[in-house]
Structure 1
């Protein structure tokens, strides 16, 4: 019987040895798989670190851009406020001028005598102003001559209107 016990013990050891080898192979595969996962995880962590660094640089750039836009917008708003104040002052001055012109027109309408019947105006020779004023040859000379000619034409048109109203 001792032979049978020895054989049974050897068989049991052999079975346990096979079971140990099988479980060792399974553990070896899992260790290899975990090492592969570890390498992938390390790669992922490295990629995340690079992405984080890029995001931080982008955020810093966006903050700089935002600060610059804020300064530019503040400058433009200041300029717009100055223009608005200038325009408001000019509108106010224009309204003052219009009010003075309206007062003058109202005064002139009230003070102007109205004839009962229009009388024919005596015929007078046309008023001619010497259109050839001495003009220098400088760059402003031509402008002065043109201004004088325009003034003469305006005077003649005004005289013609006065005569036609009187007639």
Structure 2
């Protein structure tokens, strides 16, 4: 019996050794896959680092471009504002000149003269040059827009 008990124990140890060898083979294949995944993960990380560096450079370039555009746009807005102020002043001066011309035209008109029924172009050959200028100024003032600008 002691002999068969020894064989059983040795058989059990042999079976356990076989299971251990099989499990080690299984672990070996898993470790190989893990190593392969590690290499592909390293390659992916390297590509990600490269893409990140490219993106950082692009962002830096965009920041520089935005700064330049902002300065340029600020200068253009200041220039446009100055031009707008100049145009307002010139329009006010033009309106002032127009009013003075209208007053001159009204003052140059004879006291009893009525508004001509014919258009100015047809009446111009029969009028003197002063009357023609006055009629032209009157026609010009009649075409005046509601916002103070001449048409």
Do both share a fold (TM > 0.5)? yes
**Number of residue equivalences:** 120
User: Is 2:57 the counterpart of 1:57?
Assistant: yes
The secondary structure found in structure 1 opposite 2:128 is helix
Q: Runs of 5+ in structure 1 lacking a partner?
A: 116-157
- Is the alpha carbon distance of 1:2 and 1:159 closer, same or farther for their aligned partners in structure 2, counting shifts above 3 Å? closer
- Is the alpha carbon distance of 1:41 and 1:159 closer, same or farther for their aligned partners in structure 2, counting shifts above 3 Å? closer
User: Is 2:27 the counterpart of 1:27?
Assistant: yes
Partners of 1:113 and 1:11 in 2: how far apart? 143
Partners of 1:113 and 1:46 in 2: how far apart? 96
Aligned to 2:106: 106
Aligned to 2:11: 11
- Is the alpha carbon distance of 1:103 and 1:162 closer, same or farther for their aligned partners in structure 2, counting shifts above 3 Å? closer
- Is the alpha carbon distance of 1:38 and 1:114 closer, same or farther for their aligned partners in structure 2, counting shifts above 3 Å? same
Partners of 2:111 and 2:31 in 1: how far apart? 120
Normalising by structure 1, report the TM-score: 0.65
Aligned to 1:67: 67
The CA deviation string for residues 34-70 of structure 1, in whole angstroms up to 9 with x for no partner, is 1111111111111111111111101101000100110
- Is the alpha carbon distance of 1:113 and 1:49 closer, same or farther for their aligned partners in structure 2, counting shifts above 3 Å? closer
User: Is 2:121 the counterpart of 1:162?
Assistant: no
Aligned to 1:84: 84
Partners of 1:113 and 1:88 in 2: how far apart? 36
RMSD over aligned CA atoms reads 2.3
Aligned to 1:94: 94
Offset at 1:106? 2.0
Partners of 2:94 and 2:51 in 1: how far apart? 62
Extract structure 1 runs of 4+ deviating beyond 4 A.
Answer: 158-161
